[in-house]
Amino acid sequence: MSIEQIVQKASRKGLAAQATLRAQETSKVDFENDRLKSAESSQRTEIQLRVIKDGKVGLSSTTDPNDVDGVVNRALEAAEFGSTAHYELPAAQPLPEVNTFDANILTLTKPDMIHLGQGMMDMIKSYNPEILAGAAVSRVQTKVEYANSAGARYAADHTDFNVSAGGQLVRGTDILFAGDSVRRKQRNVDPELIAERAINYFRMAEQIVPIQTGEYPVIFTPGGLIALLLSLGLELDGKNVLLGASPLAGKLGQTIADPRFSLTDDPLLDYGPNSASFDNEGVARAKLPLIENGVLRNFVYDLDTAGRAGAQPTGHGSTRSYSNLVIAAGDTPYANMLKNIRQRLLVHEFLGLGQGNPINGDFSVNLFLGYKIEDGEIVGRVKDVMLAGNALHAIQDVAAISKEREWVSGDFAWIAGLYPYLQVNKLSVVAK
């Protein structure tokens, strides 16, 4: 049964309706502790239906494409107790062009993926045979279809290539985990580069060095910037702005960051990890400047929050999820950022990210991977150290932004993007 038929069935009951179908095929290999752990394939199809009945919204979903009556009836029942609809479903719109499908990914067989994973582990083991190495390689093919009772009909094909490598090193009571990963919609990911980055994180951590509690200049790696972007993402969420929970409410057009800092959400980057031409509400996606040369330009809205706020939806779907966040490159080479100051900290990964009061920008987190810099050189890894500060204050207190940028994707998929190294003049460091 097609989603058009589901929409038509709901429409015959006098309802406004939209349906989204995601059909996904995944092949994945996992290595753990120097060995192949699993090689598996899976398929999943999910249909989500939204109806508006008597001004109320009802939602339902199914993994059975033949469950038409069930998914419609459940949506009708949910609408009896649903929230008020502050919007109308969007009519058909011209969609932007963006490349989201690479047929070369689909030619990867499980033996191919096993070979790639084993090769990355071999590189890590050749650097240090004491490391218990791990890796993962997966390919995903997804077909997305959307239809609504306002006449919109869209479809798109996506591929995803996910590669990660790393491991753990145990020395006495010290356990060190390090690794790197990349997720793109194109096959041109270099597994050797991922393994080399993982090795470099181990290499920089060979020595454990002390650091005193105090305030230090801090350099965030591209991956480490998630500590700031987690808070900024919540603060730029139109729902939080509407509820008055975001400290950025009422500040559109005002300077909130260093003039060198620009943040854009760009779903139209070819083969970006979250690129797409339309969202799950049938809204065409577009490049959206969020912070431009330090000035707050836009918030992100779904249909509901846009209707309640008197704004336009921004194509970020019902969960207001970001696509590919992009921080503009600076004019300072990363190598130069390491120099000139006697002592500072390079931060890459955290434990307990999201603790504190992230919607206000406050963070106080344990460093999972942090490195001490002395006289322009990385001298070793710090342990039992916490980093504390405020994300908004940090982007106002920028010392330098690197020319170099790296794609980042990981546990927080909605904060995937292209980021530089960013140095903040001063943050609080607490050492045990």
For residue range 77-130, list pLDDT tens digits in order.
999 999 999 999 999 999 999 999 999 999 999 999 999 999 999 999 999 999
Q: How confident is the model at residue 4 (pLDDT cuts 50, 70, 90)?
A: confident
CATH number of the 3-204 domain: 3.30.2290.10
DSSP 42: E
Cα–chain center distance at 429: 26
Strands 263-265 and 288-292: antiparallel
Averaged pLDDT of the chain: 93
**Nearest alpha-carbon partner for 407 in 317, 335, 327:** 327
Could you read off the pLDDT of 116-155 as tens digits, one per residue? 999 999 999 999 999 999 999 999 999 999 999 999 999 9
The mean pLDDT of 52-76, rounded to a whole number, is 91
DSSP 3-state assignment of 128? coil
CA pair distance 342, 209, nearest whole angstrom? 15
pTM value > 0.85: yes
CA pair distance 94, 287, nearest whole angstrom? 15
State the alpha helices, DSSP H only, in 269-359: 303-309, 334-337
Of 66-75, 114-123, 162-171, 420-429, the range with the lowest mean pLDDT is 66-75
Residue 369 vs residues 152, 202, 223, 317: alpha-carbon distances, Å: 47, 10, 11, 33
* Cβ neighbour number for residue 232 with a 10 Å cutoff: 25
CA pair distance 168, 110, nearest whole angstrom? 25
The mean pLDDT of 145-166, rounded to a whole number, is 96
Name the maximum alpha-carbon separation found in the chain. 73
- Contact between residue 9 and residue 73 where contact means Cβ atoms under 8 Å apart: no
The mean pLDDT of 291-309, rounded to a whole number, is 97
Sorted by where each begins, the domain ranges of the chain are 3-204, 207-432
Q: 42 has which bridge partners?
A: 26
Q: How confident is the model at residue 42 (pLDDT cuts 50, 70, 90)?
A: very high
**Statement: residue 305 has pLDDT above 90:** yes
pLDDT at position 351 is 85
Q: How confident is the model at residue 411 (pLDDT cuts 50, 70, 90)?
A: low
CA pair distance 333, 322, nearest whole angstrom? 28
pLDDT at position 430 is 93
DSSP 3-state assignment of 391? helix
- Contact between residue 121 and residue 133 where contact means Cβ atoms under 8 Å apart: yes
pLDDT at position 412 is 56
343 sits in which H/E element: strand 343-351
- Contact between residue 259 and residue 399 where contact means Cβ atoms under 8 Å apart: no
pLDDT at position 55 is 93
DSSP 414: G
* Cβ neighbour number for residue 126 with a 10 Å cutoff: 10
The mean pLDDT of 220-236, rounded to a whole number, is 94
State the alpha helices, DSSP H only, in 183-245: 191-204, 226-235, 238-242
CA pair distance 26, 143, nearest whole angstrom? 12
pLDDT at position 319 is 93
The mean pLDDT of 274-299, rounded to a whole number, is 97
* Cβ neighbour number for residue 428 with a 10 Å cutoff: 14
CA pair distance 19, 7, nearest whole angstrom? 6
- Contact between residue 261 and residue 276 where contact means Cβ atoms under 8 Å apart: no
CA pair distance 404, 338, nearest whole angstrom? 14
Q: 132 has which bridge partners?
A: 168
Could you read off the pLDDT of 340-369 as tens digits, one per residue? 777 889 999 988 776 667 888 898 889 999
Q: 23 has which bridge partners?
A: 45, 143
Share of the chain above pLDDT 90, in %: 85
pLDDT at position 410 is 63
Share of the chain above pLDDT 70, in %: 98
The mean pLDDT of 243-261, rounded to a whole number, is 97
Burial of 156 (0-12, 13-18, 19+ CB in 10 A): middle
CA pair distance 234, 252, nearest whole angstrom? 15
